[in-house]
Structure 1
Amino acid sequence: MTSVPLGLPRRRVEFELDGETVHALEGDTILDACTAAGKDIPTLCYGDTLTPKNACRVCVVEVEGARTLAPACSRRAEPGMKVRTGSERARHSRKLVLELLASSTDLSTTPHVAGWIEEYGAEPGRFGPDAATVGDRGAKVDNDLYVREYGKCIMCYKCVDACGDQWQNTFAIAVAGRGFDTTIAVEHDGPLPDSACVYCGNCIEVCPTGALSFRTEYEMRAAGTWDEDAQTETTTVCAYCGVGCNLTLHVQDNRIVKVGSPHDNPITRGNLCIKGRFGYEHVQNVQGSE
């Protein structure tokens, strides 16, 4: 019988979270502990299948004795530490970050942001209307599968990591430019079909703002027919090969409008290939012929 190697046991870490004693496993982050305790900490650049980049700083918390606020998504829980998630300093920082992001970026398709802006009393408009033009380069519709809208990009680097050494190892996406001209781009900022992109769509899976989206979603939003409340989600197994990747089908009006994959699946961890992510048109053709 072949033995299955098990990970080393982890010690329990005891610390104070908002005045209450909580426990976490050694190596867990403050965000992990907050999630386990039922505390809602806003996050944008955090991805549950990626290494934290600490880019957006929306999840900052106050750690007693620390000079600066700590990003909850990457700061490890330590024995005896005292953490405050709703201190005036932390809330003010989140408010300012949300104002800066919302004033210069189109966050209209970013989940939960409207609620956070209301919760923290953020006023993005105080930076003036010209701030919204900083990152807006229009939508790039240069292929049949997905669309790039850089005006919605918050430079969280999740797509770069998913395309790079953390998952796909294609390295088609990188950071280009400096300062206000910094952007996410393929090589030479050319059309997607001329790049090294293999159209796995894993960058779409991790994008938190909708800057990368299925072309079907983009066109339906433009037509005003996109309705997430009317969509159902069904998890199934991809039929293209024997790997056994799980697919989550998003269906609206009896048609598949986009495909994802469960992040907790031990095979895919949210990742797919071009066939699993985009190869569903044959289903629509069958439906149409009945």
Structure 2
Amino acid sequence: MSPVTTETAVTLRVDDRDVTVPEGSTILDACNAAGVETPVICYGPTLTPVNVCRVCVVELDGSRTLVPSCSRPATDDMVVHTDSERVRHSRKMVLEFLATGVDLSQADELGRWSEHYGADPDRYGSDVAQMDEPVRVQDNLYIRDYDKCVLCYRCVEACGDDAQHTYAISVAGRGFGARISTEYDTTLPDSACVYCGNCVAVCPTNALQFKTEYDLRQADDWRPDDQTVTQTVCSYCGVGCNLELHVQDNRIVKCTSPDDHDVTRGNLCIKGRFGWTYV
């Protein structure tokens, strides 16, 4: 007879509400369990937290500084405040700083949170540094728009240990010159990229986007409200990857995969992600 195992739990207080979560959970997990929505940029449900954006910070009793909820382990008797003046001010400034130097016009979630916190990047004036680089279109699969990149590292994590293990991209440069780059800044077709598109899937700002989407946006014909999403199974092999086909005007315009699917966890290969033009 197999021994009975009991999962250890911890109980903490989130915004005046006691929450119990499994041991090993983060403060963000506890916030989600309490029904408290938290802004995130560098965090993804299928990725390892890298603690670079600091927009998910919360106030913790006994802590001198605000702590990142996405990576701080939850422990018994913690007292967490997610909506204090200090937290709101910090999150607002992070969003403002990002928006002064980066184009967030296609980052819908960040736009929603910026409105929520009343972020006003224009108050810093117009004389601020901008990336101001042309969009890199090097193939017919996806494009890179550095003007929209917030250096959240999500694409690096997806290309590396968390999913693909290709390690085709990393952070190059320092300070304001830092950017996500291939080895020696070579073109994508000449790099180690295998075109799985998992970096595109996790990008929160559309700095990486399908070439089909980019072309429709350039033609002012990208209409997500008119699109339907149909879930199906990839037809190329027997693994069983789930696909979400985004259809506009009776044509597939891009393909994604659900994060909560046991097989894919949001990840696909080049055939599943981009090989749908035969339909």
| TM-score of the pair, normalised by structure 2 | 0.96
3-state SS in 2 of match to 1:83: strand
Q: Do the aligned partners of residues 118 and 172 (structure 1) sit closer, same or farther apart at CA in structure 2, a change above 3 Å counting?
A: same
Q: CA deviation at 1:182?
A: 0.5
Once residues 179 and 223 of structure 1 are traced to their aligned partners in structure 2, the CA distance between those partners, rounded to angstroms, is: 35
Q: CA deviation at 1:31?
A: 1.1
1:145-176 superposed Cα distances (whole Å, 9 cap, x missing partner): 00000110000111111111221111111111
3-state SS in 1 of match to 2:108: coil
Pairing partner for 1:33 from 30, 35, 47: 30
Pairing partner for 1:197 from 190, 193, 198: 193
1:2-39 superposed Cα distances (whole Å, 9 cap, x missing partner): xxx99964312111111111111111111111112211
1:218-268 superposed Cα distances (whole Å, 9 cap, x missing partner): 111111111111111111100001111111111111111110111111111
Q: CA deviation at 1:131?
A: 2.5
3-state SS in 2 of match to 1:139: coil
Q: Is the 8 A contact 1:105 1:132 kept in 2?
A: no
> Over aligned residue pairs, what C-alpha RMSD do you find?
1.6
Q: CA deviation at 1:75?
A: 1.1
The size of the alignment, in residue pairs, is 278
Pairing partner for 1:49 from 46, 50, 71: 46
How do 1:59-208 and structure 2 match up within 5 A?
A: 59-131=56-128, 133=130, 135-208=131-204
- Is it true that 1:268 corresponds to 2:272 in the alignment? no
Q: Is the 8 A contact 1:64 1:82 kept in 2?
A: yes
Q: Do the aligned partners of residues 91 and 6 (structure 1) sit closer, same or farther apart at CA in structure 2, a change above 3 Å counting?
A: farther
3-state SS in 1 of match to 2:252: strand
Q: Do the aligned partners of residues 264 and 9 (structure 1) sit closer, same or farther apart at CA in structure 2, a change above 3 Å counting?
A: farther
Identity score, percent: 59
3-state SS in 2 of match to 1:213: strand
Q: Is the 8 A contact 1:247 1:262 kept in 2?
A: yes
Aligned AA for 1:235?
Q
Q: CA deviation at 1:217?
A: 0.5
Q: CA deviation at 1:277?
A: 0.3
Deviates more, 1:95-104 or 1:114-123: 114-123
- Is it true that 1:10 corresponds to 2:14 in the alignment? no
Once residues 130 and 271 of structure 1 are traced to their aligned partners in structure 2, the CA distance between those partners, rounded to angstroms, is: 40
User: What's the counterpart of residue 228 of structure 1?
Assistant: 224
Structure 2, gaps ≥5 residues long: none
Q: Is the 8 A contact 1:106 1:132 kept in 2?
A: no
3-state SS in 1 of match to 2:201: helix
3-state SS in 2 of match to 1:80: coil
Aligned AA for 1:172?
A
Aligned AA for 1:190?
T
| TM-score of the pair, normalised by structure 1 | 0.92
- Is it true that 1:21 corresponds to 2:18 in the alignment? yes
Once residues 11 and 122 of structure 2 are traced to their aligned partners in structure 1, the CA distance between those partners, rounded to angstroms, is: 42
User: What's the counterpart of residue 286 of structure 1?
Assistant: none
Q: Is the 8 A contact 2:242 2:264 kept in 1?
A: yes
Structure 1, gaps ≥5 residues long: 284-290
1:199-222 superposed Cα distances (whole Å, 9 cap, x missing partner): 000000111110000000111111
Q: Is the 8 A contact 1:103 1:124 kept in 2?
A: yes
3-state SS in 2 of match to 1:251: strand
